[in-house]
Amino acid sequence: MDIKEKIENLTAELLKHQYLYYVKTAPEIPDKEYDRLFDELAELEKKYPEYASDNSPTKRVGSDLDNTFPEKEHSIPVLSLEKEYTIAGLEKWLAKTIANSDKTLSFVVEEKIDGASIVLYYKAGKLDTALTRGNGLVGNDVTENARTIKQIPLVTGETADFAIRGEIFFNKSEFVTFNAAFENKFANPRNLAAGSLRNLKSSIAAKVPLKIFTYEGYFTPPFTNDHIMILAKLKENGFTINKNVGFFSDDSGMRSRVNEKLPEIFSGAISELPGYVKRRMEQRDNLDYEIDGLVIKINELDVRDALGYTAHHPRWALAFKFEAPTAQTRVKEIQVQVGRNGRVTPVALLEPVKIAGSTVSRATLHNQEYIEMLELGIGDSVGISKRGDIIPAVEEVLEKDPENPTIFKFPRECPFCKSILEKDGGHHFCKNRACPERLARAIIYFASKDQMDIDTLGEKTIVFMFEKGFIKTIPDLYSFNYDELLKEEGFKEKKVNNIKTSVENSKKKPFRKVLTALGFDGLGASAAADLIKNGFNSIDKIIAAAARGNVEEFSRIGGFGEITANLLIKHFTDPQRLAVIEELKKVGLNFAEEMPAMREAGDMPFNGQVWVITGSFDNFQPRSKAAEEIERRGGKVTGAVSSGTTHLLVGSAPGSKLQKAQQLNIAIIDEPHFLEMLKETCI
């Protein structure tokens, strides 16, 4: 066999197994064997690139280049669908559509996958471009990342150009594991699918097992008048189509022709359609992917052409959504906020709408990725929800602004200081520490109710004083001569006196309050309490430890970990921050407090307990740290389980001690439970 033939055979072999694995989900060879064949092919292709096929599985591994995802225009219509939320509404649409047509209609019902919409353009049968839906007219070119999705054929049996619509999604069952690998930055599988498609380097995207269902094909010239036959053709060409599709026609001959080609799908008379929709709705939670509804489409393509489109929707399809959004409104403006630590948060300003009795006019948009996932622009109609009592969030775009369908672009610069924003993890940051917005936010935070509680200095007053140049930093709050305010409009003597009093009173706040009011990253109320509890009961002790730069000194504190420890070292060795602290000291704020009193031995929470430890722990490495915690609470730690043992602390991969403890009916404590116990018995 010559090299060329060998490469061809290997390619064909791998493609077959890829198809079996990803499309049929019925692999015939073990993963290891597949990897071996893959490596062999990659090696040969490297030596003889002239023989490598465009369709080679090695072309799906992606590149390390930063993708820029340039915008490109769509050449097929990608409009959103009219939405209906009730079976009655669906039945009405069905009746109206049938009555308005002089032809006999049939319908196709497909699941509306909650993922990232994509259009695949094929040239002469080969994948040429993959675009996101974007605003319907222009999408982002994500070809490099789409190529890494094994269910997307790179080469098909077709010879002509055609376009395919599909939905990229991520399996629910794999979400938790994969999200952990991305530091849990994705809120749900849909976020992960959209994020990997749009934001990752293709070499990383290639490691994410994204899936696709294709559901529309645009072939010219058309080879059929039936949408359902397009699905059959997609399947023949190696595309993955959803098996949860329903075909509804009153022509039984047509139904059996369809089931010959697509035996896996449901078919029935049109009268059965609403019942099918109800059943699919009930089956929703049994799926391994998220759907938010069903799509009902007219099957006949000539009827579709004749019906055409309204300004925003095709007239031949309907989205049946399982849940109506909590509230519907319009985005008037998108504001970019910068926090005291530089983090940039986009906020949607809404036309006021009532949700559960309260009027909502702002909603969080989290970050740039979230906006891109929603494909949200100013002027769009959106669905808003308010889950629990948290800040309302924009959940979905219901309707792009017909006048100006755009997607909001994050500014390149901080709107307040014009420095270039930097991306760090999922968020953008203004890294300019002299940024006026960051400084003002730090002062507002310091004076806020949960911090120093200087209630006479609300956000408005602080912003006013900041803009006037009266205060620039936190210590200025204590050195400013508030009598100056009497010259300003709206500041009467009584008001100014009240401000003076509350500023003076804030000096009595305990050290732990002062510590958190500084607003340092990673130093919230519980971290401050932990520091104090663990002997860092004065700022001098903290600064001295930070100066020693020994991460251990902080990371040994339960729940801190290295990240927090390093942050503390960074903050408390920073000259600018130390200067602020020094000034606040001079003013007379509390920078030390008494250690919580030690208890008598008899009062110790673990007094009389005998513990044995087995397995390994996330929060206690080495294991002796867990022993220290027990001993500090008056407990004893021994090496072997005996009848005298009262508690067994069990980590992952425990030894035989666990069985023995179970036999002896000893209390078995896992790590989360242990952490709870430590919290309840703070020492």
Which residues have a catalytic role annotated?
112
Instruction: Report residue 568 CA to chain centroid gap.
Output: 27
What DSSP element (H or E) covers 348? strand 343-355
| 421 is a site residue for Zn ion (CB under 5 A) | no
What distance lies between CA 346 and its chain's CA centroid? 15
551 and 566 Cβ atoms separated by less than 8 Å: yes
**Cβ atoms within 10 Å, residue 81:** 19
Minimum distance of Zn ion from residue 344's CB (angstroms): 9
Amino acid at the residue 650 = V
Show Cβ contacts of residue 382 under 8 Å, excluding neighbours closer than 6 positions: 325, 328, 329, 330, 331, 348, 350, 374, 376, 394, 395, 396, 397, 398
Q: How far is the CB of 342 from Zn ion (least distance, A)?
A: 7
Specify whether the CB–CB gap between 318 and 295 falls below 8 A. yes
Nearer to Zn ion by Cβ, of 239 and 416: the residue is 416
Question: Would you say 160 or 434 has its CB closer to Zn ion?
Answer: 434
| C-beta neighbour count of 296 within 10 angstroms | 27
- Which of 435, 454, 557, 584 is the binder for Zn ion (CB under 5 A)? 435
| 170 touches Zn ion by CB under 5 A | no
* Closer by beta carbon to Zn ion, 414 or else 539: 414
What's the closest the beta carbon of residue 412 comes to Zn ion, in angstroms? Answer: 12
Binding mask 364-403 for Zn ion (x = CB under 5 A): ----------------------------------------
**Are the C-beta atoms of residues 166 and 120 closer than 8 Å to each other?**
yes
Start-end of H helices in 433-492: 436-447, 459-468, 476-479
Q: Give the list of residues 6+ apart from residue 315 with CB closer than 8 angstroms, or none.
A: 307, 308, 309
CB-wise, 336 or 515, nearer to Zn ion?
A: 336
Give least dist CB 576 to Zn ion, A.
16
Write down the least CB distance from residue 434 to Zn ion, Å: 8
Candidate segments 357-365, 376-384, 417-425, 524-532, binder of Zn ion by CB under 5 A: 417-425
Nearer to Zn ion, 321 or 438 (CB): 438
Two tokens, residue 403? 């006048």
Residue 520: count of CB within 10 angstroms of its CB: 21
Residue choice 417, 580, 610, 677 for contact with Zn ion (CB under 5 A): 417
| Closer to Zn ion by Cβ: residue 377 or 519 | 519
Distance CA 67, CA 350 (A): 33
Q: How far is the CB of 419 from Zn ion (least distance, A)?
A: 5
Question: Residue written as tokens 């001295």?
Answer: 544
The H-assigned helical ranges of 148-272 are 172-181, 189-199, 202-205, 227-236, 252-261
Find the helix packing angle between 227-236 and 252-261, rounded to 10°.
20
Helix axes 575-587, 539-548, angle to 10 degrees: 160
Task: Tell me the site size for Zn ion, rule CB under 5 A.
Answer: 6
Sheet of strand 291-298: strand arrangement: 82-84, 317-321, 291-298, 107-113, 246-248, 266-268
CB-wise, 189 or 519, nearer to Zn ion? 519
Nearer to Zn ion, 107 or 416 (CB): 416
Closest CA to 567 of 600, 586, 589, 542: 542
CB of 442 to Zn ion, least distance (A): 12
439 binds Zn ion (CB under 5 A): no
Q: Judged by CB, which is closer to Zn ion: 424, or 488?
A: 424
Q: 597-636 mask for Zn ion (x: CB under 5 A)?
A: ----------------------------------------
Q: How many Cα atoms occupy the beta-carbon half-sphere of 656 within 13 Å?
A: 2
Distance of closest approach, residue 436 Cβ to Zn ion, in angstroms = 7
State which residue, 430 or 661, has the beta carbon closest to Zn ion: 430
Decide if residue 430 touches Zn ion (CB under 5 A): yes
Provide the minimum distance between the beta carbon of 418 and Zn ion in the complex, in angstroms, as a whole number. Answer: 7
Total H helices, total E strands in the chain: 25, 23
Residue 432: left (phi > 0), alpha (psi -120 to 50), or beta? beta
CA dihedral 469, 470, 476, 477 (to 10 degrees): -130
Stretch that binds Zn ion, among 43-51, 128-136, 355-363, 408-416 (CB under 5 A): 408-416
Position among 414, 517, 527, 569 found at the interface with Zn ion (CB under 5 A): 414
Residues 6+ apart with CB under 8 A from 533: 595, 596, 682, 683
Determine the Cα angle at 387 with ends 385 and 389, to 5°. Answer: 115
Q: Given the complex with Zn ion, which of 83 and 343 has the nearer CB atom?
A: 343
- Stretches 285-293, 393-401, 431-439, 667-675: which one binds Zn ion (CB under 5 A)? 431-439
> At closest approach, how far in Å is the CB of 68 from Zn ion?
24
Positive or negative: CA dihedral 324, 329, 330, 336: negative
Q: Which stretch binds Zn ion (CB under 5 A): 176-184, 284-292, 405-413, 429-437?
A: 429-437
Nearest-approach distance from CB 422 to Zn ion, in angstroms: 11
Stretch that binds Zn ion, among 93-101, 150-158, 414-422, 516-524 (CB under 5 A): 414-422
Interface segment toward Zn ion; rule CB under 5 A; list 109-117, 290-298, 434-442, 648-656: 434-442
Give the separation between CA 373 and CA 411, rounded to whole angstroms: 17
482 within 8 A of 503, measured Cβ to Cβ: yes
d(CA 90, CA 221): 32
Stretch that binds Zn ion, among 269-277, 290-298, 416-424, 651-659 (CB under 5 A): 416-424
Query: What secondary structure does DSSP assign to 498-550, as a single string?
Result: HHHHHHHHHTTS-HHHHHHHT--TT--HHHHHHHHHTT--BHHHHHHHHHHT-
Check binding of 416 to Zn ion (CB under 5 A).
Answer: yes
Compute φ and ψ for 213, nearest 5 degrees.
-115, 130
Q: Is 430 or 641 the residue whose CB approaches Zn ion more closely? A: 430
- SS3 for 279? helix
Binding site for Zn ion (CB under 5 A): 414, 416-417, 430, 432, 435
